[in-house]
Amino acid sequence: MTAGPLLFARYAYPPNALGYCGTDETHLLLEYGAAHTSDGGLAEAARTFEGAWPYLTLIAGANEIADPLDPRVVEAYWVGNDLLDRVPAGDLARHVEDRFRGRIGRSWQRVVDAVGAGAVPHHTFHVFAVYPWFGLMRTGVVDEPLHVLDRCRTTPALVECTSEDSARVLVRPLVWDGRRLALGSWTSRTVRWRDDGYAFVADLRQGDWVSLHWDFVCDLLTPDGARRLDRVTRTVLASVNASSATAAALG
């Protein structure tokens, strides 16, 4: 298993490279993520991600794991594993209230409803429930929010072919029917797998399962890992759709 700090760097790099979150030393994450060793500097960089880091501490604490960058914890947050199921719903709700309620504002009840409907502390929960994009779609503003939600989530993908820095992959994109988010039909998409000569997957091949974040290949997945990421995505989608339906019913 990849060391936890390195695994974190691989998933944190794509949004960081776009300037959305975390350390100012973007190239540091790229170099570390492509390496096979890490040090305290990488762990320190991970703490600058104000969205992701609190979830790692929550998952670790609920599972009595001392290090939030333990690879099992990092995998749980970005891909999904059984550690997520051991985080009590009340702890997740309190976590979001303590860390993010000031940013959420009037959408707070929707987050609480999503937790009550079965959401788990996975990256997709933060993207779908805590960020404001889902709420914007309910007002009729769809194209940009849908694009952000689809790219910001972590996504399983099947490699069709590769070139020097990019790859064609099959993904199930997010779709919106006016009321609910869902996974659409398998679609080809061009993504990046190498930046400035660095790649997180050294030998990408046709038929490989990979994980994407902001259309960058973060890691190889086993078929089971791809299924777990798909399953947790569906779980969180069901929870936020339920919370949205409740909000619509209440007006």
pLDDT of 106 over the 90 cut: no
- What confidence tier does 250 reach under pLDDT thresholds 50, 70, 90? very low
For tokens 């000031």, the residue is 102
| 8 Å CB contact between 150 and 173 | yes
pLDDT average, residue stretch 43-72: 95
Strands 209-213, 216-221: pairing is antiparallel
Whole-angstrom distance, CA of residue 2 vs CA of residue 109: 37
When the pLDDT of each residue in the chain is averaged and rounded to a whole number, the result is: 91
Task: Give the Cα separation of 227 and 50 in Å (integer).
Answer: 28
Average pLDDT (217-239) is: 97
What topology does CATH give the domain 70-251?
SH3 type barrels. (2.30.30)
Taking residues 99-118, report their average pLDDT: 83
What pLDDT is attached to residue 251?
43
pLDDT attached to residue 249: 39
End-to-end CA distance of the chain: 47
Q: Does residue 100 carry a pLDDT above 90?
A: no
Q: Where are the alpha helices (DSSP H) in the chain?
A: 4-17, 26-34, 40-46, 52-62, 71-78, 89-104, 108-116, 123-125, 133-138, 143-152, 223-250
pLDDT: is 25 or 194 the higher one? Answer: 194
pTM of the model: 0.94
Rounded to an integer, what distance in angstroms lies between the CA atom of residue 19 and that of residue 80? Answer: 25
Residue ranges covered by each domain of the chain: 70-251
**pLDDT at 132 (0 to 100):** 85
In this prediction, residue 235 carries a pLDDT of 97
Give pLDDT, residue 161.
Answer: 97
Confidence of residue 97 (pLDDT cuts 50, 70, 90): confident
167 neighbors 217 (Cβ within 8 angstroms): yes
Range among 18-22, 33-37, 210-214 rated most confident: 210-214
Side chain identity at residue 191, one-letter code: V
With a pLDDT cut of 70, the percent of the chain lying above it is 96
Chain CA centroid to CA 192, Å? 17
Nearest alpha-carbon partner for 79 in 234, 204, 221: 221
- Give one DSSP letter per residue of 204-241, joined into a string: --TT-EEEEETTEEEEEE-HHHHHHHHHHHHHHHHHHH
Please tell me which residue, 18 or 1, carries the higher pLDDT value. 18
How crowded is residue 90: how many other Cβ atoms within 10 Å of its Cβ?
9
- Report pLDDT digits (tens) over 139-191: 899 999 999 999 999 999 999 999 999 999 999 999 999 989 999 999 999 99
Side chain identity, residue 150: D
> Tell me: the pLDDT tens digits for 236-248?
999 999 987 544 4
The predicted-structure confidence for 41-51, as pLDDT tens digits, reads as follows 888 889 999 89
Please answer whether residues 45 and 52 qualify as being in contact, where contact means their C-beta atoms are separated by less than 8 angstroms. Answer: no
